[in-house]
Chain A
Amino acid sequence: MPADYKSAQPELRRSVTPWGSFSWGYSDVGADIFVGLGLVLAWAAGASNVAFLFAGVVYVCIGLAYTELAATYPVAGGGQYFVMRGLGDIFGFIAGWAVLLDFTIDVTLFAWTSVDYSSQLLPALVNSVHPWLHFGVVLGLVVGLCLLNVVGVRESTTFNGVVSALDVISETCILCFGFLFAFRPQLLIHTMQTHWPSPYELMLGTSLAIISFVGLESISQAAQETQRPASIIPRTSVSLILTILIFALAYSNLALGFQPWHPITDAAGHHLQFWQIFPNNPDNQGKAVALLAAQVPYYGAFAALYVPVLGAILLLISSNSGVFGSSRIAYAMSTSNLLPSIFQRVHRKFRTPMISIVFFSVIAVVELVFAAAPALFPGVSSLYTRFFHGENGLGFLADLYAFGAATSYSFVFLGLIGLRLTDPLSPRKFKIPLNVPMRFRGERVEFPIVAVVGFIGIFSILMFTLFTHPLGRIFGPSWLLLGLLFYLVYRRYRRLPVLGSQPRNWRTAQTEILRRAGELELMDEYVANVKASDARRAGQGT
């Protein structure tokens, strides 16, 4: 690792404040509920809140794991770095490659739903009415974001902060008015009793619910630019984790026990409950929060006008974080020799990783074509109906998003367990609760029970994804296999250990990481721990 850190690379400026750290994460994870709510209501029906609860508990475990890891190792590499350090190079690659799938899907999925939210005010953009126009606008957004990132125009932390603050206020108002004037606990219980889904639908809904909690990579990405990360990250992360969990549970409970302001009827004139507008209606699934906001008594009249705009902006920011994040992860993987050095190359004039940005944007466009194909070409639609249970574009993107997230998070839990065992000397200012003290290779370590619980939870969601998503089952593992093949060829070509790991001096690397983070007290503590451990081992040797 010293080669990665001792090179004379320009350092990222540590200018992210506590609110900046929160809003950075919020603009990424907070947008997910705008996508996830409609999809989960469509499949999990009367058990949507249970699906969100299960995914939410897993998400809390993931959030705590990321918080501990990002505070202990404040580098921008994210999940792939933790896994590489805890389990070795090849597992680091798999985790990073799965995150890259998520980031490219993130670009397309959020641009897609951004257009869906806009269609609430501009009906011409409704996908089922004008599929080519919808496709063209999404494509334009993806290409536009790619160009902006190549030129080097990034969203500012201030802009993120303002949009996040507006969204937190807006969602709080929607939920407060909704729970005060439209929520009926008896209706919630009745809906859950009469519209409980089949086990297959519940598994599908739960696997989709996890997409409402994806984006925790941003916590670790922000770590390298946060002031005093070991202190700030745990504070902001806990707030972020709880805020996102509250919004997801509140929306799902509200939607199931919701008495709409204006009666909703189907084509035959029958009254419908609010959640019943989502099954078999991809147009509605893509803009669930805007539809709910418009039905909230009193506040809905105002919310109907601005929520689609706010949602579209927040989703576009999240889409942009996919373009930016994928190039950054590829850059980090490249510096660790997990990907070729071409991904490190920066544009002479703009000083941005142009090749990375364009490469992953092209993949995002390919995913968009796959997602839009059934709506654009009737022949392809019948093919999807025959082989993939008739999945629509939004479903295709959500499948892959859930697959990538579940895979990378599974490895992050294993990485956390690995690091607790192999690196007990690094000071952990934040440690996830419930640990079992034990001895491992002569060192006193603490085994994290929460990581085991989280791993079982996320692994079961991965199994649900593979079992219930016909497209995700094929394309997700294909992405991993293709990447693994590419990795093996690259490592062999570079004469690097193919299945093993490169020798790295993690002690020097850790000291350097803490020094750069400005965590000098932690650095001193780490050096003292290392010296004490060495002295203890020398004493045992004699």
Chain B
Amino acid sequence: MLFFRGLLAVAIILCGLVILVRMVAALPEGHFKVIPGIVLGAAMIALGVHRLSLIARVRGMM
């Protein structure tokens, strides 16, 4: 179960990275208009990292 949850957290981070890269690529033409998208990508990476840190803490306890 922990492995599956870890996998999910990594998937969230990867999705966040994809969105971040696509938004940053559109930065030259979109300027500040892509900021919500950049925040979205960053929030996904933050969630994934948070989930991984929780899993790491649980593994440390076991």
Contact = CB atoms under 8 A, between A and B. Distances in A.
Contacts of A186: 26, 29
A192 B33 contact: yes
B50 A52 contact: no
Nearest to B22: A185
B50 A238 contact: yes
B13 interface: no
Contacts of B50: 238-239, 242
B40 A250 contact: yes
A245 interface: yes
A252 B37 CA distance: 10
A22 to B, nearest CB: 11
A382 interface: no
A253 interface: yes
B29 A189 contact: yes
Interface string B5-32: 0000000000100010011011001100
B54 A246 contact: no
Contacts of B54: 235, 239
B34 A53 contact: no
A422 B2 CA distance: 42
Given A176-B15, A189-B34, A242 B40 contact: no
A463 B39 CA distance: 25
A53 B43 contact: no
A375 interface: no
Interface string A184-205: 0110110011000000000000
Contacts of B33: 188-189, 192-193
B47 A242 contact: yes
Contact of B36 (A193, A239, A243, A253): A253
Report, as a range, how many residues of chain A touch the other chain.
Answer: 20 to 34
A384 interface: no
A189 B30 contact: yes
A246 B36 contact: no
A49 interface: yes
A176 B44 CA distance: 13
Interface string A255-280: 00000000000000000000000000
A49 B37 contact: yes
Contacts of B34: 185, 188-189
A189 B31 CA distance: 9
A334 B39 CA distance: 42
B51 A239 contact: yes
A189 B15 contact: no
Contacts of B39: 53, 56, 249
Nearest to A48: B36
Given A53-B35, A185-B34, A189-B33, A249 B26 contact: no
A388 interface: no
Contacts of B43: 242, 245-246, 249
Residue with the greatest number of chain B CB neighbours at <10 A, chosen from A49, A246, A253: A246
A52 B36 contact: yes
Contacts of A238: 50
Residue with the greatest number of chain A CB neighbours at <10 A, chosen from B23, B25, B29, B33: B33
Nearest to A50: B36
B47 A243 contact: yes
A50 B19 CA distance: 17
Residue with the greatest number of chain B CB neighbours at <10 A, chosen from A185, A239, A245: A185
A174 to B, nearest CB: 13
A53 B50 CA distance: 21
A252 B51 contact: no
Given A185-B34, A253-B37, A246 B47 contact: yes
A260 B31 CA distance: 25
Nearest to A235: B54
Interface in A494-535: none
B30 A249 contact: no
A179 interface: yes
Interface in B46-62: 46-47, 50-51, 54
Contacts of B29: 186, 189
Contact of B30 (A50, A185, A239, A243): A185
Interface of B: 15, 19, 22-23, 25-26, 29-30, 33-37, 39-40, 43-44, 46-47, 50-51, 54
11 contacts: A49-B36, A52-B36, A176-B15, A179-B19, A185-B26, A185-B37, A186-B26, A189-B26, A239-B47, A242-B47, A242-B50
Given A53-B35, A188-B30, A188-B37, 16 more contacts: A53-B39, A185-B26, A185-B30, A186-B26, A188-B26, A189-B29, A192-B33, A239-B47, A239-B50, A242-B43, A245-B43, A246-B43, A249-B36, A249-B39, A252-B36, A253-B40
Interface of A: 49-50, 52-53, 56, 176, 179, 185-186, 188-189, 192-193, 235, 238-239, 242-243, 245-246, 249-250, 252-253
